[in-house]
Amino acid sequence: MSTESSALPTSRRVFLKNTGTIAAATAFAGMVVPHVHAAENNTIQVALVGCGGRGGGAAANAMSVKNGPVKLVAMADVLEDRLKATYEGLSGDYSAKMDVPPERRFIGFDSYKHAMDALKPGDVVIMTTPLAFRWVHFTYAISKGLNVFMEKPLIADGPSARKMYALGEQAKAKNLKVGVGLMSRHSKSLIELHDRIQNGEIGDIILMRGYRMAGPLASAFSEKWPGTGSELLWQIRRFHSFMWASGGCFSDFYIHHIDHCCWMKNAWPVKAHAIGGRHYRGSNVDQNFDSYSVEYTFADNTKFIMDGRCMVGAVPMYHSFAHGTKGSAIIAKNGDCEPPSSIYSSQAPDRKNMTWQSKDTSSPYQNEWDSLIDAIRNDKPWNEVKRGVDASVATSMGRMAAHTGQEISWDEMVNSDHEFAPDADKFTMDSAAPVLADATGLYPVPMPGLKGRREY
Ligand SMILES: NC(=O)c1ccc[n+]([C@@H]2O[C@H](COP(=O)([O-])OP(=O)(O)OC[C@H]3O[C@@H](n4cnc5c(N)ncnc54)[C@H](O)[C@@H]3O)[C@@H](O)[C@H]2O)c1
């Protein structure tokens, strides 16, 4: 089952699964301005905004760092049951590091403000809602002088990418530390593999392949909205079904392989073309395809193929490879970035030709938090936003190519004007959803070739 299994009940089991460990995560040299200190008593206070599966996992990682005290002091969500379940789940193992009385548990679309108002400049806010709210919450965090951990993906459309690039620069100018949950970059196995590839152990990379193929996952398949209650909140519960909330299963599930393959190449692709379709959607009305195959092209004309599929009974595959002029590598042996990574003198991963295999088994989910807190405590430059937006743009570019049936370039993706949820900062509990079901309960779906460069 995937780490994106938000359909699972929030429980200690889920925290442990999602609490997944960089020593050398990329940090960007930022402008030098007066730095923001953690709270005077040396405790870094944390607020959790988006109390689902990953939010609980990230809060657990935050409270598990070894370099000084961290305390969870506020929680925010739009769904009371989610906040309650995560509060109770965390209380089992982490009660000594939690001080979240009922008056600091906030519900509603403005709950993020109340939770961040409970912090002091230099504390940390965790943003683990679906991506539609990332720029909204990040804007407020910057205004409050807060450090941030935010989950991937950061955007699903061009206008939001432009906003997030600008916000990332604002955060850097204020010397705020920002971690982004692309945990492959914090896997010590992948860091060593990256070093070895840079040292030429597989020659020049000419092809990479990523596969995430499984049965239906998380909330990527949705039957019709029951017609009662808030359609907006129903879509938020089922965010993998809706492009505005998550970029769909493509953005949410495939970004890890797209990110780490591009990292191995040290480049982002310049264009993508793709195929995909809704072959076995049955009575489901979500906006996803059930199969995607994207061919990314880099500036040197080398390729990266990303295949994604959610189909029952078809062969499951969940790993990634790099092929070079002198050999090949298994990047993720399994899952988003699970070890061991390995190198071969041949193009096939035959054991007899294996020249290196990684040994580290530490958790990239914990490593990313250890590094973020170290950067805060020791005032080291730490801002993963540009890289996080770049990975999200590369992912969106492949998705858009599949959904439109057009070749999409990097510049077209960044500069596209289709904003999926422009009013995400104005939502209330009574707001209409950004996409509405028609009289028959159907939502607009991508129709390659028929809707020009609009995805739906
Ligand atoms: N890095 C990883 O391996 C990894 C794994 C899982 C999830 N994620 C990412 O974490 C994010 C959350 O995923 P999840 O699986 O935890 O989903 P989830 O549905 O379990 O949790 C999301 C929570 O956010 C809440 N929420 C939604 N909109 C909100 C708003 N405007 N204000 C406050 N709360 C709001 C929801 O009610 C829900 O409780 C996604 O972006 C996902 O891609 C990353």
Is beta strand 342-344 parallel, antiparallel or unpaired with respect to 354-357?
Answer: antiparallel
Q: Both 89 and 196 in a single domain?
A: no
368 Cα to the center of ligand 1, angstroms: 18
- What is residue 368's DSSP assignment? H
Once rounded to an integer, what is the mean pLDDT over residues 200-221? 97
CATH classification of the domain holding 146: 3.40.50.720
Q: Both 350 and 253 in a single domain?
A: yes
Query: Closest Cα to residue 199, out of 407, 366, 355?
Result: 355
Contact 349, 331 (CB under 8 A): no
Q: Both 270 and 376 in a single domain?
A: no
Once rounded to an integer, what is the mean pLDDT over residues 368-380? 98
Tell which atom from ligand 1 comes closest to the C-alpha of 252: 43
pLDDT of residue 191: 98
pLDDT band at 452 (very low <50, low <70, confident <90, very high): confident
Q: Both 202 and 259 in a single domain?
A: yes
pLDDT of residue 7: 27
What the block records as the tokens of 433 is 């959803």
438 Cα to the center of ligand 1, angstroms: 27
Q: Mind listing the pLDDT tens digit for each residue in 14-59?
A: 333 334 322 222 222 233 333 344 445 799 999 999 999 999 999 9
pLDDT of residue 19: 42
pLDDT at residue 226 is higher than 60: yes
What the block records as the tokens of 344 is 């071969």
pLDDT at residue 13 is higher than 50: no
424 domain-assigned: no
pLDDT of residue 21: 26
420 domain-assigned: no
Tell which atom from ligand 1 comes closest to the C-alpha of 5: 15
Element (H, E) at 161: helix 158-173
Rounded (10°) CA dihedral 217, 22, 54, 220: -20
Q: How many domains does the chain have?
A: 2
5 Cα to the center of ligand 1, angstroms: 10
Q: Mind listing the pLDDT tens digit for each residue in 104-135?
A: 999 999 999 999 999 999 999 999 999 999 99
Tell which atom from ligand 1 comes closest to the C-alpha of 183: 1
Q: Both 215 and 181 in a single domain?
A: no
Q: Both 240 and 349 in a single domain?
A: yes
State the Cα–Cα distance between residues 239 and 55, nearest whole angstrom: 15
Q: Both 204 and 222 in a single domain?
A: yes
Q: Both 114 and 40 in a single domain?
A: yes
Q: Mind listing the pLDDT tens digit for each residue in 311-353?
A: 999 999 999 999 999 999 999 999 999 999 999 999 999 999 9
State the Cα–Cα distance between residues 233 and 239, nearest whole angstrom: 9
In a mutational test of the pocket of ligand 1, which residue from 3, 6, 88 has the highest number of ligand atoms less than 8 Å from its CB? 6
Burial of 409 (0-12, 13-18, 19+ CB in 10 A): middle
Once rounded to an integer, what is the mean pLDDT over residues 403-417? 98
pLDDT of residue 359: 98
**Which residue type sits at 217?**
L
Question: Structural domain of residue 116, as residue ranges?
Answer: 12-185+366-383
- What is residue 383's DSSP assignment? B
Q: Considering just the CA atoms, what is the radius of gyration of the chain in Å? A: 21
Query: With pLDDT > 90 as the criterion, what percentage of the chain qualifies?
Result: 90
Once rounded to an integer, what is the mean pLDDT over residues 233-239? 98
Q: Both 316 and 352 in a single domain?
A: yes
Q: Both 175 and 283 in a single domain?
A: no
State the Cα–Cα distance between residues 178 and 380, nearest whole angstrom: 11
